[in-house]
Amino acid sequence: MNYSVLTRRYFESADNAGELQGPGVFRGTAGNRAQGTWVQFDLQIGNGMVGKAQFLAFGCPHTIAACAWLAEAAAGRPLQVKLPESVQQLRDRFEVPVEKMGRLLIVEDAWLAAAAAAVKAGG
């Protein structure tokens, strides 16, 4: 499969891959490896802002690229229980084939779980 330049860039670097620990860190996961896509987001929240976001993912290059971009794009933004852009915008940004849309929904579910945990805790 041919991947877009942006997908290749974020897949190959994945600078925000890893886990965060400590106070003010909230985690959300979705999917499972047996079905081919699993995602975890860790959000470090302070004063209602995303200080840092990191992810772990098992999936195709599109999934990993979208996670890497989301983690980068979220840093320094106010915490919201939604993605920085819609799933369709992510699909367009990374030129994800329609048959892989479900994988982006798993990315969204993991993000929403982490953000909701932060909001519930008063982050």
From CA 40, how far away is CA 30, in angstroms rounded?
7
Domain at 5-120, CATH class: alpha beta
- Determine the pLDDT at residue 84: 80
| pTM of the predicted protein model | 0.93
- Determine the pLDDT at residue 81: 77
From CA 32, how far away is CA 78, in angstroms rounded?
29
Would you write out the chain's pLDDT as a tens digit for each of its 123 residues? 789 999 999 999 988 999 999 999 999 999 999 999 999 999 999 999 999 999 999 999 999 999 999 999 999 999 887 888 889 999 999 999 999 999 999 999 999 999 999 999 886
- For the chain, the residue count is 123
The residues spanned by each domain of the chain are 5-120
- Determine the pLDDT at residue 123: 64
